[in-house]
Every structure is written in structure tokens, then in C-alpha cells.
Amino acid sequence: MGPQSGMKKRGRPSVSTTSSVQVPLKKIKLDFRHSRGSGQVLTIGCGDTGQLGLGEDVMEKTRPGLVKELPDVVDIVAGGMHTVCLDKAGEVWTFGCNDEGALGRPTPEEEDTFVPGKVEIGGKVIQISGGDSHSAALTEDGRVFAWGTFRDSSGPIGLVKPGGPQTTPLKVLENVVIKKISSGEHHMAMLSVDGDLYSFGNAEQGQLGRVSSIFSQRGGRRGLDMLLQPDKIHISKRSTHFTDVWAGNYDTFAMTSEGEMLVMGLNNYNQLGVNEGLTFFMPTVSPSFTSKKWQQISVGQHHALGLDDKGKVYAIGRSDYGRLGLGSEGDRKVPTLVPDLAEMTCVEVACGSTVSFAVAEDGACFSWGMGTNSQLGTGNDEDVLTPYNIKSKALETRSVICASSGGQHTVLIARQK
């Protein structure tokens, strides 16, 4: 035990050792995650819980439909059965399933979930993320707010504390300035301005990168607090810090200052780019992902897409339903160039559970994978084995700048040409 608060230490001036002494936080002003401007929101796929934002009468769209209430949107997230949008004023809008608080706002009437409604967050939001039944927002001064709940194989586990869902935005991490947030299906990763990486949520597949297998089921004897209290992911080299992070369904990818891609989570189809091993509970070097420079990684259920520094799209993992975009070829253990997109420069990739998307520099948007939920925008529910250029009346006069895909629906941002 140290000296009691207020007691004098011999030979030193008296200093209060109580925790009320705050280290001043860095003053920063973060910006939106991309510089492609703003546009209108278009939605495709199943909308039986309101996740299309097109009103109570629209349960399905096989071609992109316009969400008229949101004119100037800079970012979007398609969750499991809900949608999160960020406008250029830094305000957050949500619609879809609110059974577990994923909308972050009260919805007394069912029709309230079928149209966009504003989430009250103190401060300008510059980044959003979301998973199956949670959502989160990052403000320009580096604060993180989250709402909803995480789940594991047995049901809901809570958000930052065990129990029921968090129905309104809650500040997640005290006294840490965060510059990037990313969500998997039931976990979150957060990158600080100092290069530290924090994770919290479900740990069953190793996706937190800081919880060993014996504690992965609800924290074992340590309890759920071990999983739900955000904590640092540690790596052996002290001098190394993290420079980027991407979370996906059951996985987390993290780039280090040494240029290594560290991966953690489910690897049952080699989607992490590691040849041997079913799950990784601690950060593990992915040789094939380390060998290239990446702008972005997006992770689906059993596959992943990578966008390299030259704007080329690569796919890895499970090939069923055409989700790799490689035609009828089989699974891939290393990131493989998608041939149909090789001649163009892309600016974004997005994975849903079993579907894939790429946004080209010229505003074209391509989809491929499982067609069952009509979320590919082809006008039907057939699987697509190679990239398909999405066409629709709404897109005739618009260019796509962003895409996000969830469990049953896809969301795009498109601006007037």
C-alpha cells in the first residue's frame, strides 16, 4: 500500500496522490474518414425491420432506393438489421431494428424505426461504426460513444457493462483520445492518437486480441467485465505502435509502425492470410497481408477484401456463392487480385456476411456474392460470381462514393454527377 492521500513524503513537497489530478488530454480536431464529399443515401435488400429507411410499405428493394430525408451524408454503416448515417454537419441518423437499442434513440411507435431519426450525441461526429446490434460514434475531439448490445453464442452480454442493452449513446473510454473506431459483428476496436489499440465485446473467436481461450466464454471466472471494459491489445515489441485497424465479423486486422499486419480472430477459411490455425486469440503476423500496403480491409463472415495502395481489390477466404468475385474458382489462402477490377482504380471495398462490393474512382459500384437477400442490387436474387456494375434509375445521374453492407441489406452514398 502506498502512503495515504495527503500524507507528506519525507524530503519532498506535499503532492496530492488522489485520482482527481487529470493529465491534460491532447487537443485535436479529427476529420471525416474520406474526402469524397457528401451525397444521398440509397438502400438495397431486405427491409422488414426498417433498415432500408424507405417507410413501412417498403420491405424489399432489388435496386437502390433513395432515402429522401437525408440529403448530405458523408458516411454510412449497414449493421445486422439497422443503418447508421452521418451527415456533413456531424449529426448521426439511424433506422431499422431497435429491439436491442442499436438505434440509440427512443422509438415509441414501430413506424419510428422505418424512417431516419436523429441520435443525440454531444459534439460533432466524424466517424461511425456498427455491428449486428450495436452502433458507435467518434467525435472530432476523439471521444467514443456507443449504444446497443454485444451478443455471444448464448445471447446478449451487454455493452460496456453486463446486463440489458444501452439504449442511448454512452461515453466508452475516459481519458484516452481515439482517432479511429471499427466494429465487428459483436466487438469493437479503437485506435488512439498515441498508437494504442483498445478492444471490447465478444471474445469467443479471439477477435479481441487480448483474451486467451480459457477466458473467451464470457470471461470465464473473471466474468464479463474482462470483455466489456475496453482494454489495450499488447504486442511484444515495446517500441512498436499501431497505425491502423479494421474489425470485421469475427476478426480484427491491425497495422503496426513496423509495417506488419497483425491479425486476431477466426481463420477457418484462412481469411486472415495465415496458413495454419483455426483461431488466433493473440495478435499474429499475417505473412500474406504484410507483403502488401493496404488502404483498407473489409471482413465478412468467412472472407475478406483488401484495397491496396494502388486502388486494386484483393479477395481471400471462402468462395461459396461467388463472394470472392473470382468466378467459380475455389477458396483462397492469400489475398488474390480480382481480375475483373484489375484495370480500374477503386476507392473503397465493403463486405457483408456473404457479399462483396467495390466502389471505383469514377463512381461505379460493383457487387458480387450471395443473392438471397437481394442486397446486390441486380434486380433479382441470383448469386453473382464476378463483379456486377450496379445499375438503377437512381444511379443514372449519380456517382457512388461509399458502400456498406450488413446482414441482409446494403447502403450506398451517391452524389449528383
Q: What is the DSSP string of 269-335?
A: TSTTS-SS-SEEEEEEE-HHHHTS-EEEEEE-SSEEEEEETTS-EEEEE--GGGTTSSTT---EEEE
Identify the residue whose cell numbers are 443514372.
396
Distance CA 332, CA 270 (A): 7
Residue 23 pLDDT class (50, 70, 90 cuts): low
Question: Rounded to two decimals, what is the model's pTM?
Answer: 0.93
Residue 110 pLDDT class (50, 70, 90 cuts): very high
Question: Does 142 score more than 50 pLDDT?
Answer: yes
Instruction: Please write the tens of the pLDDT for every residue from 321-343.
Output: 999 999 999 999 999 999 999 99
Question: Does 9 score more than 60 pLDDT?
Answer: no
- Cβ distance 316 to 294 under 8 Å? no
Instruction: Please write the tens of the pLDDT for every residue from 154-168.
Output: 999 999 999 999 999
What distances in angstroms separate CA 415 from CA 41, 57, 194, 220, 348, one per listed residue? 9, 25, 35, 49, 16
Task: Give how far the C-alpha of residue 131 lies from the chain's centroid of Cα atoms, to the nearest Å.
Answer: 7
Question: Does 39 score more than 90 pLDDT?
Answer: yes
Whole-number average pLDDT of the chain: 94
* Buried b or exposed e, range 52-64, using 16+ CB within 10 angstroms: bbbbeeeebbbbb
First to last CA, the chain: 67
Give the mean pLDDT of 113-119. 98
Distance CA 315, CA 337 (A): 7
Sheet holding 134-139, edge to edge: 125-130, 134-139, 144-148, 166-171
Give the mean pLDDT of 139-147. 98
Distance CA 167, CA 100 (A): 7
Give the mean pLDDT of 36-42. 98
pLDDT of 27 reads: 83
Question: How many Cβ atoms from other residues are within 10 Å of residue 91's Cβ?
Answer: 15
Residue 7 pLDDT class (50, 70, 90 cuts): very low
Residue 5 pLDDT class (50, 70, 90 cuts): very low
Residue 24 pLDDT class (50, 70, 90 cuts): low
Instruction: Please write the tens of the pLDDT for every residue from 354-411.
Output: 999 999 999 999 999 999 999 999 999 999 999 999 999 999 999 999 999 999 999 9
Question: How many Cβ atoms from other residues are within 10 Å of residue 113's Cβ?
Answer: 24
Q: Residue 154: exposed, middle, or buried by beta-carbon count in 10 A (0-12, 13-18, 19+)?
A: exposed
Helix-, strand-, coil-residue percentages of the chain, each rounded to 5: 5, 40, 50
Q: Where are the domains of the chain?
A: 40-416
Give the mean pLDDT of 247-268. 98
Q: Which of 182, 225, 219 is nearest to 204 (CA)?
A: 219
Answer with the residue of higher pLDDT: 27 or 395: 395
pLDDT of 50 reads: 97
374: left (phi over 0), alpha (psi -120 to 50) or beta: left
Q: Which three cell numbers stand for residue 28?
A: 485535436
Distance CA 286, CA 263 (A): 6
pLDDT of 228 reads: 98
Instruction: Specify the CATH number of the domain 40-416.
Output: 2.130.10.30
Distance CA 417, CA 414 (A): 9
